[in-house]
Structure 1
Amino acid sequence: MALFAPLFIFFFFLSVLLSTGLSSPLPGKEVWDYVEVRPGAHMFWWLYYPDNPSAQYQDLPLVMWLQGGPGGSGSGFGNFEEIGPLNRDLEPRKTSWVQAASVLFVDNPVGTGFSYAERPDGFATNVSTVASDMLVLLKHFFTRIPEFQSIPFYIFSESYGGKMAAAISLELSKAVAEGSVKCNFAGVALGDSWISPLDSVMTWGPYLYATSLLDDNGLADVNSAAQKVKQAVEQQQFLQATELWSVTETVVEQNTNGVNFYNILTPEPDEKFTSTAGENFISLQAHRHIRPLHKQSLNELMNGPIRKKLAIIPQNVTWGGQAEEVFTKMAGDFMRPVVDIVDQLLTTGVNVTVYNGQLDLIVDTLGQELWLKKLKWEGLPSFTQLRWTPLDDPASPGITGAFYKTYKNFAFYWILKAGHMIPSDQGPMALQMLKMITQQD
């Protein structure tokens, strides 16, 4: 049986918030629940209704946020570090997306965040399973809260979350057409997304060289390592490609004195990992890319006050406790591209937006541009011929904060002065982009 949290029990929320040190309840309403998507596989979701004094939730879109990793938690990192109503210190966030939408955080794949698997075969091993699991959850969600069935529903994503979002969107569009899921699916936004892993890896060297983070020798080393990844991908040796991707990242670090893959102009994360002798590549990559999403302070918040507030987390489940296993189970699927899925979305008329941070390395804009040119979508030549339009930074009027262009059901946003986590780096610009994509500006 799926665990259950009754809707809108205001005074319960108030008492828990006060007992956990939060000075007052959040404005508006929240609701959360578990869904058993497969036997022994449980997914957690958390919905925030909008906090907008001039609009009711019926008048604003519903946005689902999917984190990366795989193994990064939307209920934790996306919520308290990026777009939720409160930041990690439980202070109001000025650029929270609840100003413009209802926001649904889902901890996926199974095992991420507060989601959990009861046994080893409960984890997903590919995006196909991730998508089918999400469809079970969405069917549950829209059945349980039917007033959202007619509200425009968007999927926003970041990093590996974009790869999952593409697969989920394709299956959701089919399910909506068949009538098995009732919702008003309005589009998907792919942020700094792992759509074509090889195109990202192959452009690391040129990008770092152009930004003076590699010399000629370093460029040769990085390009040589990347070429081995390419050979493995071309031979369909995807697990080996993931291992060689790990090796390439090590080569990058050695030649750049430890560049931050998430933002080339900021120091490495405070909780820097150190590799140990005999550590396998999966553990190494989990440390590199999962640990930054589970900072100690965030871990303490989620397994302390937030866990107590939610009051439905099983005693044997800790937030992030299965994150590394999630990453491990997906390793064989990690380097597979999903460009063909994006092509199918565009061809079937789904609204697709790509957005990328100028300072991101792990999914650099050069790589995004490369896979974009591989699309077979008939609108691509017309899109390519368009000139982009500058957008003022909302926080600095008169200063360009982004560029964008759009043609038919495809749009691209180039976000300046932002790395991998755009809402963290450029919150006002990210909020404006959200409003534009959901047709509020």
Structure 2
Amino acid sequence: MDNLFLLIVFLGLSCFLSFFEAAPENALIKNLPGFNGTFPSKHYSGYVTIDESHGKNLFYYYVFSERNPSKDPVVLWLNGGPGCSSFDGFIYEHGPFNFQAAKKYESLPKLHLNEHSWSKVSNIIYLDSPAGVGLSYSDNLDDYNTGDVKTATDTHTFLLKWFEQYPEFLSNPFYIAGESYAGVYVPTLANEVVKGLDAGLKPTINFKGYIVGNGVTDNDFDGNALVPFAHGMGLISDDLYQEVSTTCEGNYWNPTSKDCIKLLSKVNEDVDGLNIYDILEPCYHDPEAKTNSPVNIKLPSSFREIGESDKPLPVRKRMFGRAWPFRAPVREGLVPTWPQLLGSNSVPCTSDEVATSWLNNPAVRKALHAKEGELTWELCTDNISYRHDAGSMIKYHKNLTTRGYRALIFSGDHDMCVPYTGSEAWTRSLGYKVLDEWRAWTYNDQVAGYTQGYENNLTFLTMKGAGHTVPEYKPREALAFYTRWLAGEKI
């Protein structure tokens, strides 16, 4: 009996140790410049080569759950753009550290543990995608011409190869999450994962669902969301709202009459100057950025369709979705990134100084096992030429949810980039039966936002007082709904 007990203990211990030894040891992060403490869980980072013939490499940073990595969900996090690095989420939103800006006599930011990190309850992969973004790269520059469909297939290839390197996590529930233009990345990738499961591709990913925050979704819903949002927030007068609603007949993103366009210009004048990511916050101005940007901006010749004239595009200088033109949905075809439109290396109203100084430090690069030398990290890049070629995301959401995959659509309710009014409208448009009628949800006995639950495992949620990047503005509350939803609990 004693021998049997010892055998059971030995086998259990062997399984426990093998779980932690299966991950590639050459990817283990042993220290990080700027951080002097002890990691609360294991961290890994490095490259997965998704195309050896092209030298196409996607960079990831993987954080083990601080709770129970062998059981907790694995979540892939994607920031949007297109062209923006997922270190945006890692550094400014829900990563394992809070970053304190370096003082004048210091060379690097100081890192402190983040008590509201999403790694408290999940394993999480931060991925720079597509190639050319963040620390991801390709030796073949043709790979920097990409789009929705190619990005989804490439990221699916990454996942299959990543799970081959981390097979001990294959049985964990797997979710895909992201925000802004990842409103396109997430459902298109989820669709590729499901197609792979249907085809019997190995390894078998235990895919359970997805999360989208303030996400790009559909021309009509995204494009028509701002005017009612501006009215509801008291940014435009009731008289102007009634006039523009009647004249434009609810079609604000693709106006057909001069009178409508004239009224929309008045709306634009009223909201111009606000921080588009959070109308409650001041707008940070980079002292090195140009103070006067042209209203009509020409795209580089590489971004023109064949036969397209060399005329200025009628695009306002402000951007949203951390890339795409303010007050306009993402249309089919080439999507210029904000640097290509602005000729500037600063995202409007935001500062990326901390991330830029840290991720371009040689010691940090070495610690992360990242490519050094000529590869410069930028929050959002103009390296890529990106095409929106997947159409509306509504058909993807319908397919995924009717097949039983869980979906959480959340919105910071003070975001003017992708206003909650559009997300609320398109989720309602699916026609699903309401199972949990619109109500407040709470954190620490206070109303944190509102939610509505539908059949087919679809949940819509708002975060009261939050902007475009919800966990950045409301870290405690964001961790609360994230924890509850992953656990399958009522929010």
Aligned match of 2:463: 415
Q: Contact 1:218 / 1:255 at 8 angstroms: preserved in 2?
A: no
Change (3 A) 1:308 1:253: farther
| Shift of residue 412, structure 1, vs aligned partner | 1.4
Q: Which whole-Å CA distance do the structure 1 matches of 2:137 and 2:266 have between them?
A: 34
Q: Contact 1:30 / 1:49 at 8 angstroms: preserved in 2?
A: yes
User: Scaled by the length of structure 2, what TM-score is found?
Assistant: 0.74
Change (3 A) 1:415 1:257: same
Q: Which whole-Å CA distance do the structure 2 matches of 1:201 and 1:41 have between them?
A: 35
Alignment-mate amino acid for residue 442 of structure 2? D
Q: Contact 1:148 / 1:183 at 8 angstroms: preserved in 2?
A: no
**Matching of residue 50 in structure 1 with residue 65 in structure 2:** yes
Q: Which whole-Å CA distance do the structure 2 matches of 1:431 and 1:213 have between them?
A: 30
Aligned match of 2:254: 230
**Matching of residue 61 in structure 1 with residue 73 in structure 2:** yes
Residues 320-335 of structure 1 correspond to what in structure 2 (within 5 A)? 320=378, 323-326=381-384, 329-330=385-386, 332-333=387-388
Alignment-mate amino acid for residue 281 of structure 2? T
Q: Name structure 1 gaps, 5 residues minimum.
A: 233-244
Q: Contact 1:40 / 1:122 at 8 angstroms: preserved in 2?
A: no
Change (3 A) 1:141 1:42: same
Aligned match of 2:41: 28
Aligned match of 2:183: 162
Whose radius of gyration is greater, 1 or 2?
Answer: 2
Q: Which whole-Å CA distance do the structure 2 matches of 1:37 and 1:275 have between them?
A: 42
Aligned match of 2:302: none
Alignment-mate amino acid for residue 318 of structure 1? T
| Shift of residue 437, structure 1, vs aligned partner | 1.8
Alignment-mate amino acid for residue 437 of structure 2? R
| Shift of residue 398, structure 1, vs aligned partner | 3.7
Aligned match of 1:238: none
| Shift of residue 88, structure 1, vs aligned partner | 2.2
Change (3 A) 1:306 1:404: farther
**Matching of residue 215 in structure 1 with residue 237 in structure 2:** yes
Q: Which whole-Å CA distance do the structure 2 matches of 1:252 and 1:288 have between them?
A: 28
**Matching of residue 179 in structure 1 with residue 200 in structure 2:** yes
**Matching of residue 432 in structure 1 with residue 485 in structure 2:** no
Query: How many pairs align?
Result: 405
| Shift of residue 179, structure 1, vs aligned partner | 2.4
Cα distance per residue 1:310-331 (max 9 Å; x no partner): 13314221112871233xx22x
Tell me the secondary structure at the aligned position of residue 267 of structure 1: coil
Higher mean C-alpha deviation, range 206-215 or range 115-124: 115-124
| Shift of residue 66, structure 1, vs aligned partner | 0.8
Alignment-mate amino acid for residue 393 of structure 1? Y
**Matching of residue 355 in structure 1 with residue 410 in structure 2:** yes
Change (3 A) 1:8 1:204: same
Q: Contact 1:40 / 1:117 at 8 angstroms: preserved in 2?
A: yes
Residues 117-132 of structure 1 correspond to what in structure 2 (within 5 A)? 117-132=138-153
Q: 2:438 aligns with which of 388, 413, 425?
A: 388
Q: Which whole-Å CA distance do the structure 1 matches of 2:92 and 2:81 have between them?
A: 15
User: Scaled by the length of structure 1, what TM-score is found?
Assistant: 0.82
Aligned match of 1:73: 85
Q: Contact 1:131 / 1:168 at 8 angstroms: preserved in 2?
A: yes
Aligned match of 1:315: 373
Q: Contact 1:130 / 1:164 at 8 angstroms: preserved in 2?
A: yes
Cα distance per residue 1:33-84 (max 9 Å; x no partner): 21232324321111000123xxx2112111111101111211x210010011
Q: Which whole-Å CA distance do the structure 2 matches of 1:129 and 1:262 have between them?
A: 28
Residues 201-212 of structure 1 correspond to what in structure 2 (within 5 A)? 201-212=223-234
Q: Which whole-Å CA distance do the structure 2 matches of 1:186 and 1:268 have between them?
A: 38
Change (3 A) 1:386 1:26: closer
Tell me the secondary structure at the aligned position of residue 59 of structure 1: coil
| Shift of residue 404, structure 1, vs aligned partner | 4.0
Q: Contact 1:127 / 1:333 at 8 angstroms: preserved in 2?
A: yes
**Matching of residue 366 in structure 1 with residue 416 in structure 2:** no
Q: Contact 1:153 / 1:184 at 8 angstroms: preserved in 2?
A: yes
Cα distance per residue 1:99-120 (max 9 Å; x no partner): 0001110011221111123343
Q: Contact 2:358 / 2:364 at 8 angstroms: preserved in 1?
A: yes
Tell me the secondary structure at the aligned position of residue 112 of structure 2: coil
Q: Contact 2:176 / 2:211 at 8 angstroms: preserved in 1?
A: yes
Q: Contact 2:440 / 2:447 at 8 angstroms: preserved in 1?
A: no
Change (3 A) 1:401 1:199: closer
Q: Which whole-Å CA distance do the structure 2 matches of 1:84 and 1:270 have between them?
A: 25
Q: Contact 1:393 / 1:401 at 8 angstroms: preserved in 2?
A: no
Higher mean C-alpha deviation, range 333-342 or range 132-141: 333-342
Q: Name structure 2 gaps, 5 residues minimum.
A: 1-22, 101-110, 299-314, 316-335
Tell me the secondary structure at the aligned position of residue 131 of structure 1: helix
Change (3 A) 1:217 1:112: farther
| Shift of residue 167, structure 1, vs aligned partner | 0.2
Aligned match of 2:355: 298
Tell me the secondary structure at the aligned position of residue 276 of structure 2: coil
Change (3 A) 1:419 1:21: closer
Identity, % of aligned pairs?
A: 24
Change (3 A) 1:228 1:335: farther
Q: Which whole-Å CA distance do the structure 2 matches of 1:173 and 1:251 have between them?
A: 45
| Shift of residue 254, structure 1, vs aligned partner | 3.2
